[in-house]
Every structure is written in structure tokens, then in C-alpha cells.
Structure 1
Amino acid sequence: MKTSSTKILIIEDEMIIGANISLQLTKLGYEVIGIIPRGEEALLFVRENKPDVILMDIRLKGKLDGIETAQRIQQEYNTPIIYITANADEAHFNRAKSTRPHAFISKPFKKLDLQRAIELTLSRIAEGDDTKSSAKNIASSPYKLSDAIFVRHHEKMVKIIISNIHYVEAERNYCRIYSKDKNYLLVLTLKDLDEKLPKKHFIRIHRSFIVNVSQIDEVGNTHVIVAKKTIPISKTYKEELLKRLHTI
């Protein structure tokens, strides 16, 4: 995917931070079309310049914070928004979640965090542009074989042997598959992935976790252990899990 034609707007009231983000994006090959410190100014800028992606600081000085600015922008445009925040508390997250952002990046962040968030966003945009293509729709979701699934990873379809998958963890609007040798970040919610994975092998045990039943080593009162990882289990899912394990 070419990045040079991707126009990114930074809305950040700390200009040193904004300049640093701009430098990193430029090195990655993106076109930064502006660094705007106030929400009110950003609204006008978006109307005139129509960015492809917006990096939005949640806490902006002025009349509008980042979330309110995002809401105003979304009233007119469907521009993907990636939030940047030093305050990821539950209240701010729930407010921000209502604007359906494509990603969150917590300050301080690494260059790789920024790169991955934008790549995932662009990947989702590309998939949205081709929703009428059945081949594209298949490629964006896990494709099942009897002993493996294919998932989209870095613009390729990668085969993962089911017996090698340990568990899946939700990461807000994405989810990550942890397997024996590697992990894979998918542009898919945990709920959507749960509907696509073969029920014979997988079970959801928590709002944030799906596990491979064959990989469970231990079941406690409030957790299971999979590949030395302690994973919480919700009461609502525990009964179904115990049925699947044929406990005696």
C-alpha cells in the first residue's frame, strides 16, 4: 500500500509533541498536511483540506476537547480517527469509544505503535472500499480448513494450524491471536472472530478472551491457564467451559 498519497492531519495542542509525530510520519512516508492545536481550528481545516486520517489528541485546550471535535467532524465526514492520549481512564475511553475510532495510542508511544495503528487504519479503509468484492470479504475474515485457519496479516493470507493456537485476546477494536510460534493482530473485533472460529476447538471464557480448549492446562475458580498464561474466566462462561471439558 502506498503511503505517500495518504494525507494525515495531526490535532495536538502540544506543538513539540505534534512536531515529533509529524517527523516520525514523514520518515514513514506519509504526508502530514497540518498540525492544528485547537478543535475549533481543526473543523475549518478539515473542511478545506479533507485529510485521509486524523491523529487526535483527546485533551485539547479550548472550547472543544478531542472527543467533541471528533463528533463534530463525523457529522460531516467519515474520516478515520486515531486517538492519542496520555489519559486512558475508563470515563475518557467510554466517551471516545462512542465516536468509533480506528485506534488508540497511549502517550508516550513508540514509532512502531504509531506505524501499526496507521497501517491497520489504512487496511480497514481499503477493505471498506472493496466491500462489494466477495474475494476481498473472504480475505478480510478468517478462512477455515479442517485443521487450520487463514487470516489476513500484513496484506497476506497466513495459514495458522488450529492446534498451535493458544488463545485470542481483544485489543479494543482489534484482536490478537497468540499461537505457539507467533502472534497475529487482526482488524476484527473479538465478537466477530468468535462467530467465525470453529466451535469444536474454541470457546469464549471472558469478554476479552477466547481460548483453544485443547490448550487449557488448568482451571481455577476465576481463571484458566493456557501456555503458562493466566486468563480470567467470567462466571457466565464457566459453566459452558466445564461442560466442554467433561469434568469428573
Structure 2
Amino acid sequence: MEEKIKILIVEDEMIIAANISLQLTHLGYEVIGIIPRAEEVLPLIRAQQPDILLLDINLKGDLDGIDLAHLIQKEFKIPTIFLTANSDETHFNRAKAVNPYAFISKPFKKLDLQRAIELTVLRIEEENTKKENGVSEENFVLSDAIFVRSHDKMVKVNIQDILYIEAERNYCKIHCKDKEHLLVATLKDLEEKLLVNNLMRIHRSFIINLFHIDEIANSHVVIAKKAIPISADLKKQLLQHIQKI
């Protein structure tokens, strides 16, 4: 039986905290506690260390979430996701200093929470793999397939099955017909490794599979009902590329 990811919630608005806990439980994670005050966090972590810390920046009291994250990092290396209703530049720059794995802005949707946790888990798994065997991600991109980490195994995704690849900050989401995969890599890095004629970058956030294009419009292409933007210059390159394959 696969061990559940343990998550600690530090949030002083208990209705929000309870809602987050319920959502995480439904998603299959284990919530090991809900703590409203910064001063109570370190004793609990020393007794039971979580895999992920979900931490509100705007905690009431002498310490806010960023101060608390600094204190925790002196003793532990726990991946942290910040929750915040205040996204001003000052808070953001202070928060960046503790290298959080993600930010979730309040109010947020269930999907925002789900994606932030999934991306954090994926990054943890990739980091652990590299520590254990020093495997480079370059080994996982082949001429006809990409190997994508899914929990404790590598899943082969055939290039021909890829509809399009979408950038999500330092991650890529690989869209196939029946499934999506997350890959720890920037779109630029992936573009350099995927030397395949039928894959082409047509936007700063998208690489598409030319074989799966359904429509080519003035400012976008359509793949599996998804409209993907394209500039006039790149549209010209796209049409030339299609004629060659």
C-alpha cells in the first residue's frame, strides 16, 4: 500500500483551514494537523514532520508565515506552499527568499490547490530520484518518447500520442488524448531536447504536435478543441513546416 503524502496546514482562519483539509483528504492526502498560530508549529514538526507545509503568509501574532518559514528552514527542509490574500511586491519578495515550492492566492479554487500540491509532490519525487541515483532528466527524453515520473515509476509517453505541451512555470503539462502528465522541465529545455519534426513551438507557452492540428485560423490553431495562440510570423513558419513533413 502506497504511503500517503502528509500535509500540515498552518492557517488562522479556521473555516478556510477546515475546507482545505477536507479537499486534501478527498484528494487522497493525509492532513496531520491544522495549526492557527506560528508559535505552535515547530513543536508539532519536531514530533511529526510533514512532507509538505501549507502555510498562510498573513498569520496573526508576532510571527507571520514568512518569519515562521525562516525559522523552520533552520531545522528542517520541508517543501512549503504559501497561501496569501496579499500579493503585493513587498510580501512576494520576502516570500521568495525562503524558496517556496508554490503560491496559492486567496480566494482559490479546488483545482488551484490540487495543482499546487501535485506539482510540489512531483518536484519532491524528482529531487529524491536525483539524490538517490544522480539520474539526469536528459535520460528521460528520447527520439520517440518522453519518460514521465508518476509516483514511484517512470511512465512512457509516445511522441505520436502527444497533442500539445503547455508551460506551467518550471513545469510542463503534456496533453494526450485521454490523459495529462506533468514533467519537471521548462518548455525551453524540453524544446531543445525534443528534436522531432512533428513537434513545433508556436507560442511562448505551447509546443504542438502538427499531426493533431484540427484547424489553422488567423491567430490560433485548434487541437482537440483547444485554441492555441500563434503569431503571424510563426503561422508562416508553421505552414512551411507542415509542407516538409
On the 8 A contact 2:79/2:100 being kept in 1, the answer is: yes
Structure 1 99/2 Cα, relative in aligned 2: closer, same or farther at 3 Å? Answer: same
By how many angstroms is 1:203 displaced? Answer: 2.5
- Aligned twin of 1:21: 20
Q: When the two structures are superposed, what TM-score results if normalisation uses the length of structure 2?
A: 0.70
Q: Which residue of 2 aligns with 1:169?
A: 166
Superimposed CA distance per residue, residues 195-224 of structure 1 (whole angstroms, 9 cap, x where no aligned partner):
33234332223232222233344153x433
Measure how far apart 1:231 and its partner are: 1.4
What is the Cα deviation at residue 168 of structure 1? Answer: 0.9
SS at match of 2:241: helix
Matching residue of 1:124: 123
Q: 1:93 to 1:208 in 2, by over 3 A?
A: farther
Q: Summarize the alignment of residues 170-209 of structure 1 with structure 2, pairs less than 5 Å apart.
A: 170-209=167-206
Q: Is the 8 A contact 1:13 1:60 kept in 2?
A: yes
Alpha-carbon distance in 1 for matches of 2:85, 2:146: 37
8 Å CA contact 1:140, 1:152 repeated in 2: no
Contact 1:58 1:84 in 2 (8 A): yes
1:100 offset after TM fit, Å? 3.8
Instruction: Describe how 1:73-92 pairs up with structure 2 within 5 A.
Output: 73-74=72-73, 77-85=76-84, 91=89
Q: CA deviation at 1:230?
A: 1.7
**Structure 1 length normalisation: TM-score?**
0.70
User: Does structure 1 residue 12 correspond to structure 2 residue 14?
Assistant: no
Measured against aligned partners, the alpha-carbon deviations of 1:170-218 in whole angstroms (never above 9, x if no partner) come to: 2234321112232223343333333332343322232322222333441
What one-letter code is carried by the residue in structure 2 that aligns with 1:103? A
Residue aligning to 2:36: 36
After superposition, the Cα gap between the structure-2 partners of 1:180 and 1:53, relative to the gap in structure 1 and judged at 3 Å, is closer
Contact 1:9–1:34, Cα closer than 8 Å, also in 2 = yes
**In structure 2, what is the Cα distance between the partners aligned to 1:175 and 1:198?**
17
Q: For residues 130 and 23 of structure 1, what CA distance do their matches in structure 2 show?
A: 30
Where 1:137 maps in the other structure, the secondary structure is coil
State yes or no: 1:153 paired with 2:168: no
Conservation of the 8 A alpha-carbon contact between 2:37 and 2:61: no
Q: Compared with structure 1, are the counterparts of its residues 29 and 104 closer, same or farther at alpha carbon in structure 2 (3 Å cutoff)?
A: same
Structure 2 counterpart of 1:233, from 218, 230, 234: 230
Identity over the aligned pairs, expressed in percent? 50
Distance 2:98 2:235 in 1: 33
| Structure 1 residues 225 and 45: CA distance shift in structure 2, 3 A | same
Aligned to 2:188, the other structure's residue is in SS state: helix
CA contact (8 A) 1:174 1:190 kept: yes
User: Is contact 1:14–1:37 with CA below 8 Å preserved after alignment?
Assistant: no
What's the RMSD between the two structures over aligned residues? 4.0
Instruction: Give CA deviations for 1:103-151 in whole Å, capped at 9, x if unaligned.
Output: 34454443x76566445434432332332544x73689644243x3332
- Unmatched 5+ residue regions in structure 1? none
Is contact 2:199-2:210 (8 Å) kept?
A: yes
Correspondence 1:40-119 to 2 at 5 A: 41=39, 44-45=42-43, 48-49=46-47, 50-62=49-61, 65-67=64-66, 69-70=68-69, 73-74=72-73, 77-85=76-84, 91=89, 95=93, 99-105=98-104, 107-110=107-110, 114=113, 117-119=116-118
